């Protein structure tokens, strides 16, 4: 399940990145383009990391870290994409939750790796 979810998030990151660069060119504000690019820049490597974790067969904390990275990608990138498309400014208050989830994911992976589990 983690591999499928990671592949989906990675696919969406590439598709939305291209959509923002081409279909939304001239539509987004300068700030909107920055948000869009930041969303894609963070979503794609975290999806790749989660896919690598899934394919590694690791369990426990490392696998939980992969899920945390995906949750972070959805929340962080999702809110930035929404802001770029005109969502109300309060949506930006949700974005740091995604960032914290990224940090938790990396911390869980590191902790799990030092424990040599799974």
pLDDT digits (tens), the chain, 118 positions:
999 999 999 999 999 999 999 999 889 999 999 999 999 999 999 999 999 999 999 999 999 999 999 999 999 999 999 999 999 999 999 999 999 999 999 999 999 999 865 5
pLDDT in the model for residue 116: 67
* SS3 annotation, 24-78: CCCCCCHHHHHHHHHHHHHHHHHHHHHHHHHHHCCCHHHHHHHHHHHHHHHHHHH
CA 93 – CA 27 distance, rounded (Å): 24
CA 36 – CA 38 distance, rounded (Å): 5
Identify the DSSP state of 92: G
pLDDT in the model for residue 26: 87
pLDDT in the model for residue 97: 98
pLDDT in the model for residue 80: 98
CA 44 – CA 50 distance, rounded (Å): 10
Identify the DSSP state of 16: H
pLDDT in the model for residue 25: 84
pLDDT in the model for residue 67: 98
| Exposure string for 22-43, b = 16+ CB within 10 A, e = fewer | eeeeeebeeebbebbbbbbebb
pLDDT in the model for residue 115: 83
Residue 12 near residue 46 (C-beta atoms within 8 A): no
The predicted model scores a pTM of 0.92
């Amino acid at each position: 399940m983690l591999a499928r979810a990671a592949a989906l998030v990675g696919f969406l990151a590439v598709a939305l990145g291209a959509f923002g660069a081409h279909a939304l060119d001239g539509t987004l504000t300068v700030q909107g383009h920055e948000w869009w690019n930041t969303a894609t820049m963070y979503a794609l490597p975290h999806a790749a990391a989660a896919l690598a974790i899934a394919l590694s067969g690791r369990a426990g904390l490392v696998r939980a870290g992969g899920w945390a990275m995906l949750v972070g990608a959805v929340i962080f990138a999702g809110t930035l994409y929404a802001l770029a498309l005109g969502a109300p400014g309060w949506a930006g208050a949700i974005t740091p939750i995604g960032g914290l989830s990224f940090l938790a994911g990396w911390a869980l992976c590191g902790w799990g790796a030092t424990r040599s589990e799974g």
